[in-house]
Amino acid sequence: MSNEIILNADLRIRTGTNKTREIRREDSMVPAIIYGNEQESKNIKVRLNELTKASESELFYTQVLKILLEGQEEKVVLKELQREPVKGKFLHADFQRVSSKTKLKVIVPFRFIGEEDCEGVKTDGGVIAKAISEIEIACLAGNIPEAIEIDITNLMLNEAIRLSELALPEGAEIPGFDAENDQMVVSVNAPRAEEEEVEIEAEEADGETSSEGDAETSDNSEGSDESDENS
């Protein structure tokens, strides 16, 4: 896998609140735990500088990670990363073991392709509108995509791509998805100025219709006044 993230870790022999505080005070290590996949949980500590660098990548939150522990490799996904509310200091990390057959729910970003060559933009001066930038999918741990690619090169003015049209990885699905919540992902809309002109024209047309109606009412009123005077 490209851009693979690897963390080095040591076992925590002693555990408990006091020991955890000691590790945090070291400023170079962060307490953590590895669990799951029907194996014994392991209390570990990871290097702060490695965790900090890894956390700056979107892949850290969506991809399978490798933790090197006592000469062995643990394949995991991040389940929780606790931070100190004010300063943002790392407090604890939870990692879940996975195998290639483990099915996970992960949030994956969209990668839009062909924005510069989009037909609706080049031909009709349309504007690309991205309704959502990421989606939660359920897929095998060994098949988590870095991103879901959406090609909008051939998207024309007033056309859109919806969730039902996405090309998901093999075996992947959108949890709870059905026709009723088929959401729009991206569309090509008319320029804002053009939309405003249409709205103004519609308002003017309504105004003219209203004025004509008022004029007819006024004429009828004058006729009624004349009838009253003659009588």
- The rounded distance, in Å, linking the Cα atoms of 222 and 210 is 19
Question: Residue 1: what pLDDT?
Answer: 43
Q: Are residues 75 and 125 in the same domain?
A: no
Per-residue pLDDT averaged across 197-222, rounded? 59
Q: What is the pLDDT of residues 61-71, one digit of tens each?
A: 888 999 999 99
Residue whose entry in the numeric block shows the structure tokens 């998805």 = 177
130: in domain: yes
pLDDT tier, 97 (very low <50, low <70, confident <90, very high otherwise): very high
In one letter, which amino acid is 50? E
Does 197 fall in a domain? Answer: no
Q: Are 151 and 185 in contact (CB under 8 A)?
A: no
Q: What contacts 44, CB < 8 A, 6 or more positions away?
A: 9, 10, 11, 12, 31, 32, 33, 34, 67, 69
Is residue 57 pLDDT above 50, yes or no?
yes
Residues 146-176 have pLDDT tens digits of: 899 999 999 999 999 999 999 998 889 999 9
pLDDT over threshold 90, residue 16? no
Number of domains present in the structure of the chain: 3
Contacts of 130 (CB under 8 A, 6+ apart): 110, 112, 185, 186
Tell whether 51 and 67 lie within a shared domain.
yes
Mean pLDDT of 185-212: 70
Residue 23 one-letter amino acid = I
* Cβ atoms of residues 42 and 11 within 8 Å: yes
**Checking DSSP bridges between strand 65-69 and strand 90-97, what pairing results, if any?**
unpaired
Distance, CA of 122 to CA of 156 (rounded, Å): 9
Answer whether residue 15 is part of any domain: yes
10 and 90 co-located in one domain:
yes
User: Could you tell me if residue 196 is inside a domain?
Assistant: no
Domain span at 157: 104-190
Query: Do residues 22 and 81 share a domain?
Result: yes
Does 1 map to a domain?
no
Asked if residue 165 is part of any domain, the answer here is yes
